Amino acid sequence: MARRGMERWRDRLALVTGASVGIGAAVARALVQQGLKVVGCARTVGNIEELAAECKSAGYPGTLIPYRCDLSNEEDILSMFSAIRSQHSGVDICINNAGLGRPDSLLSGSTSGWKEMLNVNVLALSICTREAYQSMKERNVDDGHIININSMSGHRVVPQSVTHFYSATKYAVTALTEGLRQELREAQTHIRATCISPGVVETQFAFRLHDKDPEKAAATYEHMKCLQPEDVTEAVIYVLSTPPHVQIGDIQMRPTEQVT
């Protein structure tokens, strides 16, 4: 059933990056339920293909289109937008969800780990944002929406050395979202930019951050009732369902038991 305010998005196209697992998969599913065409991209698309089949079997009114894309490679991103343009006309909603953390501290971390985080968390987000805006502009879409899935780590620095560089990339997302909002106003468009910043969400994130210490990763989620991907999805749907004149800059959300 369509949520109030979501009717205007029916049959329009949303791009969701990092759609194979966690928040991205949950957002993709929810948008298909609301009748959108969703291009879900990730480096591997097996999970997205399975999710697309589930959505079809469930009779959801929208469609999920899997697309393989290495977001650390600009050429892959540009090829994806070119394919969207030729096959589906263009992007109306861009949800920059893909992100990763590597356990590389400031004093002893590897440059390769830092670059990996920068490439996906900052550069890929910026490239997708630029290309989505250009897609909207060339089709005279004036009510599009760009949503950056950020983190509470983009608003405070916790005393855990393995998250400090990751936190820096998320502070960048906070600045990029506000900068985008200002540039969209300067361009005299009604395209909106929003940041959603969750705290601890129970996904595979900690297991990838602590890939050599699965017990430590599991402990991240065991000491509190964590947010679930669907909680973040609710925030995405809320943002999209607000009237076009309403600009939501940032939603910060955390488990009630999370201290910082």
**How far apart are alpha carbons 70 and 68 in whole angstroms?**
7
Closest C-alpha among 95, 193, 91 to residue 139:
91
- Is-catalytic flag, 166? yes
Phi and psi at 215, nearest 5°, equal: -65, -40
* Pairing relationship of beta strands 250-253 and 192-198 according to DSSP bridges: parallel
Q: Which of 166, 171, 221, 238 is catalytic?
A: 166
Active-site residues, by number, are: 166
